[in-house]
């Protein structure tokens, strides 16, 4: 099966050769870029599964340096209170207006257009800047979606330096997971 792999930055998969059944799209950073890329990918007539791989931060030191599968994605920077709860898009009736459940074991990820360096109000196991947007597009297009993140940093004052130091480590872990059939 062809797998459409959406990655924010080439640095996140640099230096590895992915299996032949992967079609890679680099989305760029943030929810808007991720949305545009996901919309383009879902327009391919053979798009059946989208996998988002990339880096993430965490506030849980036990997750640092690990490749994790995401089972729930929320939008941490959607704040339309008092109309709706934090993380919920107001005036939507779709099943992708709040938390998006991906199934299986894994972690909760919150997406927002900010680089997290302190605990966000909407709690999650890990944080990123793209996955919720991709998950929502895939859900609305009826395309299977899976998400895997390599945890590069502790989402603290050292997050930027730690991300730079660790971004390249995740690609090898992702490739191992592909080779073991986990993706």
How far apart, in whole angstroms, are the C-alpha atoms of residue 29 and residue 8? 5
pTM recorded for the entire structure = 0.94
The pLDDT, as a whole number, for residue 93 is: 77
User: Residue 124's CB: how many other CB atoms inside 10 A?
Assistant: 25
Residue 53 structure tokens: 């791989």
User: Above 70 in pLDDT, residue 1?
Assistant: yes
What Å distances lie between residue 147 and 68, 84, 106, 128, CA to CA? 9, 26, 10, 11
Mean pLDDT, rounded, for 24-40: 98
Residue 148 structure tokens: 């895997």
- Contacts of range 96-100, beta carbons closer than 8 Å, 24 or more positions apart: 96/135, 96/136, 96/139, 96/140, 98/74, 99/72, 99/73, 99/74, 100/72, 100/73, 100/74, 100/132, 100/135, 100/136, 100/139
The pLDDT, as a whole number, for residue 78 is: 93
Mean pLDDT, rounded, for 60-71: 96
The pLDDT, as a whole number, for residue 6 is: 98
Which of 64, 85, 61, 76 has the alpha carbon at shortest distance from 163?
64
**Quick check: helix, strand or coil at residue 167?**
coil
For residue range 110-134, list pLDDT tens digits in order: 999 998 888 899 999 999 999 999 9
The pLDDT, as a whole number, for residue 115 is: 85
Average predicted confidence (pLDDT) for the chain: 94
What Å distances lie between residue 81 and 77, 78, 90, CA to CA? 11, 9, 9
As a CATH number, domain 3-179 is 3.40.50.1580
How far apart, in whole angstroms, are the C-alpha atoms of residue 52 and residue 59? 21
The pLDDT, as a whole number, for residue 14 is: 86
The pLDDT, as a whole number, for residue 96 is: 63
User: Above 80 in pLDDT, residue 103?
Assistant: yes
DSSP 89: P
Give the distance between the most distant pair of CA atoms in the chain. Answer: 48
136: left (phi over 0), alpha (psi -120 to 50) or beta: alpha
How far apart, in whole angstroms, are the C-alpha atoms of residue 82 and residue 64? 35
| Confidence grade of residue 79 (pLDDT, cut at 50, 70, 90) | very high
List the chain domain ranges: 3-179
């Amino acid at each position: 099966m062809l797998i459409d792999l959406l990655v924010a930055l080439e640095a996140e998969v640099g230096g590895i050769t992915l299996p032949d059944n992967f079609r890679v799209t680099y989305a760029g950073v943030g929810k808007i870029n991720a949305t545009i890329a996901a919309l383009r990918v879902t327009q391919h007539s053979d798009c059946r599964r989208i996998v988002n791989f990339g880096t993430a931060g965490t506030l849980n030191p036990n997750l640092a340096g690990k490749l994790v599968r995401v089972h729930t994605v929320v939008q941490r920077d959607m704040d339309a209170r008092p109309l709706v709860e934090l993380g919920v898009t107001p005036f939507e009736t779709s099943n992708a207006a709040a938390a998006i459940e991906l199934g299986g074991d894994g972690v909760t990820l919150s997406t927002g257009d900010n680089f997290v360096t302190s605990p966000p109000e909407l709690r999650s196991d890990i944080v990123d800047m793209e996955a919720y947007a991709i998950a929502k597009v895939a859900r609305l297009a009826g395309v299977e979606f899976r998400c895997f993140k390599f945890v590069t940093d502790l989402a603290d004052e050292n997050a930027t330096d730690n991300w730079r130091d660790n971004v390249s480590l995740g690609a090898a872990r992702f490739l191992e997971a592909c080779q073991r059939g986990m993706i």
